[in-house]
Each structure stands twice: as C-alpha cells, then as structure tokens.
Structure 1
C-alpha cells in the first residue's frame, strides 16, 4: 500500500482511524560532515531549546489508530508508524521564563527586520542546505531552460481511481510550481492563470464559511504584519485600527506573511492529492522556503526557527532517500514509483517543539475534512506534528480543528465557546485525551475580562497563541473587533490574528468580513476560488469510498 501517497488509503480494521505519518528505523540518522556543517554560516539560536530532529523522533500518538464512520462506510487512513520509543526532551512548557517560541529568526532575516524601509530582501528563502535537489522541468508550460514542476502526481496504475478524479486533476495546473518564462522567479498567487471552476457546485452557506475562514486568516495575518514583534506597550500608544503597510516587513497594505503562505501550500496539497499527503505537504513547504511558492512577495520571509529546522531536516531526508534509491533529482518531490515513499519518515520534528507555526496554517485541513469530524480532528493534529512534534502542538491543532469543524456545521458561538465543548464532542477525538494545558484552555481559561493585564499573551508558544486567539473571539462580537484585539496584544501579532481569523471567519462567514478589508487583501480572488476547490474535493473525498484505497 502506498501509505504516504494518498489519504484515501484505508485500512481493513473497523476500529482504525488515520494513523500518523512516522519514521522508519532503516533511515540512517547519522549525518555526514557536510550535512552537519550546512548551517555553519548561520545563527540558529532557538527559544525552543530543542535538539536538531532525527528520524528516531516520535511521540505517544504514533501507535494510535481510529476508524471514522460516515453513514455506515468505514474510512481509515494508513500512514507509516513512528518508532515506539519517545525521545527524551526537556519540556519547558510550564516555565513562564522559558516558553518555547516559534519566531526566533536566523541571520538571513536580520536585514529585513523591524521597520524595514522597503520591500523584503531578495534572498528567496535563505536556504542553507546544499541545493542538491534542483527541480527538473516536468512542467510543460515552463521554459525549457528554467526549472519547473507539475503539482499533479503522475497517474498510478495501482490506484483504484475513477475517470472523474483524473478529469478533476486536469483543470488544476495552477497549483503547480510555476515559473515565469526565461527566469527562475516564482509566479505569485495573483500572477497565476485564472483558476477553472470546480466541476460541481457547493452550497452557498458552507462556501461562505470556508471562504470566511481562509480569507479571515489572511486578513488577520495582513493586519498584524506591519507591527509584528511590537510589544503591547507600544501598541497601547499606537493601536492598530486598520490594515497598514511598511513596518516590520515593508509590505504593501493587505499582503500576508508566512502564516497564509503555508496555509495555501497546505490547501494546494489537499486539493491536488484529493486528500492528506504529508510528504507532499512538506514538499510544498520546501518550495515556499526555497523559491517563495505561494508567497505574497515571491520570496520566503518571516519563517520561524522550528519550521525552518523541520524543512531543512525534510530536505536532508529527501537527499538521503534519493541517494539510497537512485532517484533522479527531478523526481524526488514526486517519485514515479510511489512505493518508495511508503516508509519515508515525514515527522521532521520532535517532542518539545511547540511553536505556533503548527496552528497558524491549520484551516485547510478541517475545512477539507469537516464532513467527517473524526478524520478532520486527527488530520488536524497530524498536519501540525510533521513540523512541530510536541504533544501540545498536536492537541492544540486537534482542538482548534474541532472548533472549525463545529463552526462549519453552524454551531452557535455559545456552543463553540462552551467549557464543555470537548466533552460534548469527545467522540471526534478518537478516545484520546487532550494535553492538560490544552484541556485547560478548552475549559475556558481564555475567558478573561482583563485580557493582556489578566495574562493573555500573543506569543509564539502554541499554548499562549491558542489562548490569545480564543480570547479575541470570545471578547468581541464581530470579526473586525476581534482581529484588532488579537493584533493589539502585541508580539507575534500576525500569527495571533491569523489563528483568530480561521475560526472567526468560519463562524461569521465571508459575507460578514469587513468589506473595506477584503477588497484590499492580497490575492482575494485566488483564495476565494481555492476555497471552492477545498469544498469540492473535500466532498468527493468523503463520497468516493471506492477511491479510498491505493490497492486495486
């Protein structure tokens, strides 16, 4: 079974649910001297105080399995298991002086720091890993002298697929890694050829919520981008009241940062693969990191330390697989033999890595799988864990994914914010409890009338970020006020507001987003059409059990 190639792969067990992607001990964890020295020219200080991840990294969720039953149909996804022994890691989550942060930047960002006068620097990603996996020219629309890559995986003879699935793929070339003619610059989202409409309709109400979540996330991101890293005291005297420009990254009004770029990578992966494919998600994060794929500027910027470490680790593992299996350079991102990825270790992080980067990009997963809450919740956890291995990151994503699912189902705000939400929907969580820190939030620690003065913080630590986003949602009655409240907490302003925007946008819907903001957000038309494809492909994932196995 091509375990990593398609989330439609299903196990035969009636009690199995998506098994997390994991590690394989056959991969050599000993790096060469060249690999070890790849970062020698960079500062890699991280507030998370974690070691470089290895293929033996794991967590307690690796052995779990679950079934998701929709109208009598069994839906279980099989992915490689992790090694059974968890790593030893220092957990500083309860030490307020040592809370792990996401945004501790490496040296290539130094020239793009606070109050940059112009646009961000020209380094498209600041990658330190040797560029051994140069992309081949498999995109027929790219210039023959320029690298390119088709997003659509090659046809596989061992998949039980329908003609409709192939037809759906034919109209999605805009999801590929597209280069301008005669240059190596990525086409930004607004430069891509117009998307085709999906060959089917989506209910107006659900589309309103999906578009609200995606664009709400981008609005929150853009709203906080120009004051990112500003402390709360600064924002008390200089409060954000509208979309701005310049500031930290020198962006134009409405441009978004890493939060939305990575979410778009994730959304594209779900659509192209017709489901959850952790390897392909990491490939697209790598494209963003190296080439600026799905960036509002055409360059990677604002990348968090934990995210960067995980992508670098993924690239090392790709290079090792390529050497061991003699895979051509141009095929490593989408090998023609999918079975080569069966045991690929897609967990590129470890316990103790608990930055907010796992949560900031989450929305596409619950939006895609919401019709099957158990799958949506479990895949939400997996999606964060491949780059942020801590249990708190896994559970924060599961809990927030469940809230977004409930919002799409039309649950009231009181129901979403009920202290009993987790208990009332416990069947969605596959019998697995939440980490105590996340469970405390689920029971209402964010319901704090004093906000910042009461301890609410917009920090890079995922527990703080989750609490802050929920506080902004709880303490306000409309999208705009909540987004402003999230930003004006200070510090990691864009990410706090982007996390808020995912849930608030799903609840209020696109129609209730501030029109004066939506008309200025970058690539709005692209995101609205992408939302239609999320809705369409998610529905077909749920309604095509015959394609839920990769073995004929």
Structure 2
C-alpha cells in the first residue's frame, strides 16, 4: 500500500492529468491564439460535455489499473489487455464513448505489436506513462510499457526521461503543501523552482525559462509534447496557469495539457486544482485511484537534487 505522501501525489497527478485533458478536449486541433481557454467548457472539437477526458487519461488509467493488478510490476501483455478493453468496450472512460484514438495506437492494438517506424513517434505513450513514476520499475520496464504501442527509441527514451523527471518532483515535493520546518513561503517557492528546473534538465530540456512561447511546438510529436509540457510547468507558478498555458498553445491541446497537468498535479497537489469537481465520472476516477493506492507497493523515489 502506498504511504500517505505518495498516495497524495498520485491523486494529484491523476486528477491533474484528467482535468488538463478535459480542459483541452474542446480546443483540440484549433490554431494557437484562435481561442482562449479560461475555464472548463463543453462542446467544441469533439462535441463532448464539459469535464470529459479523452484517450489520454483513459489509457493512463489503464496503465494505472494494470500496475494495480500486478502489484506494481510492469507487464506489457496485461497493459495491452487493459488498452484493448478501453478501445473495444469503453473502459476507463467517463461515459463509455471512445474517441480520438491515435493512428499508431490503433494499429498497434489491432496488430498486437508496438510500432517502430520514425513516423510512429507521436505522444501516445508519453501521455499514459505517469503511473510508472509511482512504482519501482527499471528503465527497461518503462521502455516496454511505451513499446506496447510506441516502440521506436525516440518514444521509449522520452518516456524514460519523463518518468525520471516526475520521480524527482515527487521526491522533492515532500513538505511543500504543509511547509517544511521553519521555511517561509518564499523559501518553499525557491526550492520548488529549483526542483522544477532540475526535473527539466533530467528530461533533457534546458533554458526553458528563457524560451519564448513562439518557439514551443504543440503538435503530436512526442519530443514536442515533452518540451511543451515542461515549458508550461516551468513558466507558471500554479496548477491552473500551467494547464491553461498548455491548452492555449493550441493544436494537440488536450495531450499537452494532460501531460503538463500530471506534472503540475504532483507539484501543487490535488487541493490546488480548481476543476476537480467539474470532471465527469469522478466516482470512477476515485475507484481506480483507490485501487492503485491499496495495491501498489509502498515506495518512495529518491531525490536527484
């Protein structure tokens, strides 16, 4: 069973991703600066009710459910089965409706083989990989989880870098919410900023604070999503601003906001997320989170600072 600190960070990450995803769903594929995301709305690109998460969160929940069923051991076949349950039966969705499945993911699940071409480096494995930051698995395990659908080295390595960066944020975030002993808010903010910068370096990204918005790409390429997500986290100082910045980059708005939202959920916590009550299927989300908390082995990543 996860300890209380890890359980809280997992809850923050899962809700952080689901909310970011749902904020971005109405704006997916829209051009940057042709809209402005301010709050949770419905309709839009996919004509879905407000608070609907997409394939990004559904597959992340499938990953989390698989880890819960295997006591934290990465089992690619079990994960594939969970993803098929989503694609075929609507499992892990708030309403049973499967939409926005990516081409590489669809082909991989249909054939039973992760895709290895250079054009198969979309963000479809990165968007679902955050649960692996909460278990003691190896880099090869992370690669095998990615390779269920996205097996090219660019995608698998991006997932490894992302998980390591997320683990640093998990480890460094102990005490942020309540305040470390004797530290004022300015000191805590400085430690948080340093940890976010270090996490970006671990993800292979540097100088994000100095990077202008017009140099951040927000399409479906996995490395663009990785960079955009950390840019949003690095250049904002609260959960809401992070995911709004991600959605407002346009293009693959839901995935960028899902990935950055998971990170921001770790950093700022569940209580800092203003839209948790506006998600559809909250009872289902809580069920999967609760199952994971009770099933995953107690573990704490070491800080790389």
Normalising by structure 1, report the TM-score: 0.48
Query: Does the alignment pair 1:249 with 2:15?
Result: no
Question: C-alpha deviations, 1:373-418, integer Å up to 9, x for none?
Answer: xx25443332112211221111111111012111221353412322
Structure 2: how far apart are the matches of 1:492 and 1:519? 24
Q: Give 1:503 deviation, angstroms.
A: 1.0
Decide which structure has greater helix share: 2
Query: Does the alignment pair 1:349 with 2:129?
Result: no
Structure with higher RCO (Cα < 8 A, 6+ apart): 2
| Among candidates 395, 409, 431, match of residue 171 of structure 2 | 409
Name the counterpart of 1:226.
Answer: 26
Structure 2: how far apart are the matches of 1:405 and 1:377? 13
Whether the aligned pair in 2 keeps the contact of 1:364 and 1:534 (CA below 8 Å) is no
Kindly report which structure 2 residues correspond to 1:65-80, keeping only aligned pairs within 5 A, or say none. none
Q: Give 1:525 deviation, angstroms.
A: 3.5
| Among candidates 388, 405, 408, match of residue 150 of structure 2 | 388
Change over 3 Å in CA distance of 1:404–1:312 after alignment to 2: same
Whether the aligned pair in 2 keeps the contact of 1:288 and 1:299 (CA below 8 Å) is no
Name the counterpart of 1:521.
Answer: 279
Structure 1: how far apart are the matches of 2:216 and 2:268? 23
Q: Give 1:445 deviation, angstroms.
A: 4.8
Whether the aligned pair in 2 keeps the contact of 1:265 and 1:285 (CA below 8 Å) is yes
CA RMSD of aligned residues (A): 2.0
Q: Which runs of 5+ in 2 are unaligned?
A: 174-191, 301-305
| Among candidates 246, 254, 259, match of residue 494 of structure 1 | 254
Kindly report which structure 2 residues correspond to 1:112-131, keeping only aligned pairs within 5 A, or say none. none
| Among candidates 212, 218, 241, match of residue 481 of structure 1 | 241
- SS of match in other structure, 2:116: coil
- Number of aligned pairs? 280
Whether the aligned pair in 2 keeps the contact of 1:269 and 1:280 (CA below 8 Å) is yes
Whether the aligned pair in 1 keeps the contact of 2:169 and 2:199 (CA below 8 Å) is no
Name the counterpart of 2:181.
Answer: none
Whether the aligned pair in 2 keeps the contact of 1:351 and 1:391 (CA below 8 Å) is no
| Among candidates 124, 128, 137, match of residue 361 of structure 1 | 128
Q: Give 1:248 deviation, angstroms.
A: 1.0
Q: Give 1:540 deviation, angstroms.
A: 5.7
Name the counterpart of 1:214.
Answer: 14
Q: Give 1:420 deviation, angstroms.
A: 8.2
Q: Give 1:449 deviation, angstroms.
A: 4.3
Structure 1: how far apart are the matches of 2:193 and 2:141? 24
Change over 3 Å in CA distance of 1:404–1:471 after alignment to 2: same
Question: C-alpha deviations, 1:69-114, integer Å up to 9, x for none?
Answer: xxxxxxxxxxxxxxxxxxxxxxxxxxxxxxxxxxxxxxxxxxxxxx
Q: Which runs of 5+ in 1 are unaligned?
A: 1-199, 315-346, 423-437, 543-552
Query: Does the alignment pair 1:531 with 2:297?
Result: no
Name the counterpart of 1:240.
Answer: 37
Whether the aligned pair in 2 keeps the contact of 1:230 and 1:490 (CA below 8 Å) is yes
Whether the aligned pair in 2 keeps the contact of 1:226 and 1:245 (CA below 8 Å) is yes
Question: C-alpha deviations, 1:488-523, integer Å up to 9, x for none?
Answer: 000000000000011111111112211xx1111122
Kindly report which structure 2 residues correspond to 1:412-431, keeping only aligned pairs within 5 A, or say none. 412-418=192-198, 421-422=201-202
Structure 2: how far apart are the matches of 1:360 and 1:414? 25
- SS of match in other structure, 1:229: coil
Name the counterpart of 1:133.
Answer: none
Structure 1: how far apart are the matches of 2:151 and 2:269? 32
Whether the aligned pair in 2 keeps the contact of 1:215 and 1:528 (CA below 8 Å) is no
Structure 1: how far apart are the matches of 2:298 and 2:17? 25
* Higher-Rg member (1/2): 1
Q: Give 1:484 deviation, angstroms.
A: 0.2
Normalising by structure 2, report the TM-score: 0.85
Change over 3 Å in CA distance of 1:417–1:382 after alignment to 2: farther
Whether the aligned pair in 1 keeps the contact of 2:196 and 2:233 (CA below 8 Å) is no
Structure 2: how far apart are the matches of 1:310 and 1:541? 32
